Structure formats: C-alpha cells, structure tokens
Structure 1
C-alpha cells in the first residue's frame, strides 16, 4: 500500500479522480500548505478540461483542504494550532472504531491487515536508519490508513482521506530527533502487536496515547502559529 497508490482509484467520476489526486499530492508533500492551485497549469498537466477540475476544487474546499480567496484563486489551507486537537481527536475516534470493527471481523481480515502493517513498520524502521523524516511521516500515515482500510468500511476510508491530508499539512515541517523517530516506530509496533493479540482495550488506549503524543509534538512545533 505505497503512498503513490494510496488514493489511486479507477472507474470513478473525473472530478473525484482529480480531487483524490490533489489530496494525495498534499499527503505526499508535493503540494504544500499556503500554495496556490493554478487551474490552467493543473488542467494542462492532467490533460483535462477546466470544468471537472473546478468541481474537484470545490469538493476540496468543502472538505476544508483548500480555500478560495476572492479575485485571487484557490489555495491549500494552512492548519493552525487550534485545529490540531480537533483533527487528532477525530482520528482517534475513527481509528478506534475501525479497530473495533476489524476485531469483530474474520481472522483472515485481521491477518491481512497485520501483514500490511508489518511491512509498513519494517519500512519505517529502515527509513529512520536512513534519516529520511519525510518518508517516515508518509509511512506513518500509510500505517494508519491501512488500519482504517482493514475494517472494510468505505465511509471510514472516505473520511480518513481528508484527515490524512489535514494531518500531513500539520507535520510537513516537523523536525524529529533520531530518538523520537525510533520511539515513533515502537509506538506503531505496539499498536500492531495489540491488534494481532486481539487486546481491544489496550489497543484503544495505545491509539489514544499515540494521538495525544502527536498533538504534544505538533503543538510544540506550532508555538509560533496563530492561536
């Protein structure tokens, strides 16, 4: 479940494909907070007409990922400090609900999800050793998306795409120490272990602690942001 294919879906309306593509680029860090979306350039790059592109931009504005400035155009939203707690609290609730549904599912479903999570955690550890923080951040979101996707609920997945993009906008400029990155890998390994063990209560607590720690880290980074 590589990031390049995170939101790559076929057989869906053009406007939705464009919205998914733009959301994916934000998650990957290719499009950054505050950046203007040039309709003409983007339409040329995607070889698409302006009509579905504008519809896609409207959808992302409704999600809060983009915003429109009169007479200036469309820009990528910038997540402020006061948004952090809301975003991560919703993530906690959604991931806990997904984990709950997953544990109520089949053993095969749990096994397949755990196998996907193991691959991601192993890759995270490799990228920590390589010192690639941006890659680690992308893999971190992959892990949580795979957890949510494992529940097999299409609405969970749809909502989480927006949350993933918002989360990525929060942590693009994070500068973690090597020690913190190693702990980050341990936190995800712990979530995986608890899911594999079927320890529902401990899993919920681990997800909650992980989200709380993320908010603490991000709040420290955003000290200079507008409250």
Structure 2
C-alpha cells in the first residue's frame, strides 16, 4: 500500500467510527485506488493509532463493500468491474422503485423541498466543476427519497449501495457529454415527486438507473484505456 504523504492527527481517544470515516473518504476520493492493499500494521503506524479500532473500522468497510478481504491475501480496496456495476444498479432499481411507490402514497411537499436543496448544491458543484461533490449530491438525492419511506431496513440496504455507487460515479466528467444532463435528469425526478405522479416517477427512475449502467461501463473503459 502506498501511504499518503504528511501526518494525520486524530484525537487522543480515536474511535473506529472516526477511522472508518477517514478511510471511507480516502477510498472515495481516490487516495486509495482500486486493488490498493490495506496493510493494517503499516497504516496504524502511519496514523499513530492502535490496531484494535483500525481493525474494527476495516471490517466495517468490508461490510459496506468498499474493501474486500481474501484469506491468505489480505484486505484491499474493491475494484468494481462490469458485472459489479450491473448488480449494484439491479439492486438499486428494486429498492428505489419500492421507495418511490411508498413515498408517493403520502404528501410529498416536504420531500420535494428537500430534493430542491440537493439540486441547488448539485448545480453549484457543476458550475464549479467539483465532480466529487456532484457525485456525492447525486447519491444524496436518491438517499433522501429512500429515507423518506421511514424504513430503517430500506435505508440500511441503500446505504451499502450508496458507497459502492460513489465508487462507480466519482469520475462523473467522463459519463455525460453535457454536464448539465445529470442535473436535468434529477430535476425531472423531483418534478414527478412534487406533482405526485407515481407512474411518471416510476418509469423515469427505472429508465434513469438502467440507463446509467452502459454509461458507467463506457466511462470505466475510457478511464482505463
């Protein structure tokens, strides 16, 4: 594993939560790239932390799907291939269709307003070409809808997919020919929710997610070519 330059200072009583958050951010921002080996001894020394909370943090990220642990080979950052992308979005379609049905059976005024805030942040990030933030707001948009179902289990299932999705879309600039496209697509989803149009929303979210798969696969090939 190639460690980052410079020291990182944690609080004296560092917790597994803080370490997991730190590692998650380093994976999602590309500091630890796909297939990077996570050497716990080396990393603990670099961060000046004990191995107990580090080991717990690493196991959490394994459960989230950001790290993979193979017996006799150690732990490394996941490298999502074409089949992984297809499976992630297959699961998202199932969860988000059901979430859409549930939220559109109730008053969506508050949800529509929350989504507008996400769209504004996405707009600002696009304007400044802050692609990591665009990716983050994209996932937050969908997670906001799932959380509006008030189902803790749906939320937990989506949280795992959200982390994997961020790995897929962190290079958003390679996905759309026009950067405004991503904002326009999410605005349509927000409008369907605001108007309470369940058939329109369900058709749009299914198209939106299924369309993402070939686009992400093409972007992955472009990055690796």
CA distance in 2 between counterparts of 1:25 and 1:66 reads 12
Task: Give the TM-score normalised by the residue count of structure 2.
Answer: 0.78
Whether the aligned pair in 2 keeps the contact of 1:37 and 1:76 (CA below 8 Å) is yes
- Indicate conservation of the 8 Å contact 1:85/1:215, yes or no: yes
Instruction: Judge conservation of contact 1:65–1:77 (CA < 8 Å) in 2.
Output: yes
Q: Which residue of 2 aligns with 1:133?
A: 131
Aligned CA distance change for structure 1 residues 183 and 19 (closer, same or farther; 3 Å)? same
The residue number in structure 1 matching 2:92 is: 91
- Deviation, 1:47, is 7.4
Residue equivalent to 2:7: none
Q: Structure 1 residues 199 and 45 mapped into 2: Cα distance closer, same or farther (>3 Å)?
A: farther
Return 5+ residue gaps in structure 1 as ranges: 1-13
The alpha carbon displacement at 1:203 in A equals 0.6
Aligned match for 2:158, one of 157, 160, 163: 160
What is the aligned residue count? 210
Q: Which has the higher contact order (CA 8 A, sep 6+)?
A: 1
With the length of structure 1 as denominator, give the TM-score of the two structures. 0.77
CA RMSD of aligned residues (A): 2.9
Cα deviation for residue 82 of structure 1 reads 1.5
SS of residue paired to 2:98: helix
Alignment gaps of 5+ in structure 2: 1-14
Corresponding residue of 2:196: 198
Q: Distance in 2 between matches of 1:25 and 1:206?
A: 33
Which of these two proteins has the greater Rg computed from alpha carbons?
Answer: 2
- The Cα offsets for residues 116-146 of structure 1, whole Å up to 9 and x where unpaired, read as 1101112212222222222211211111111
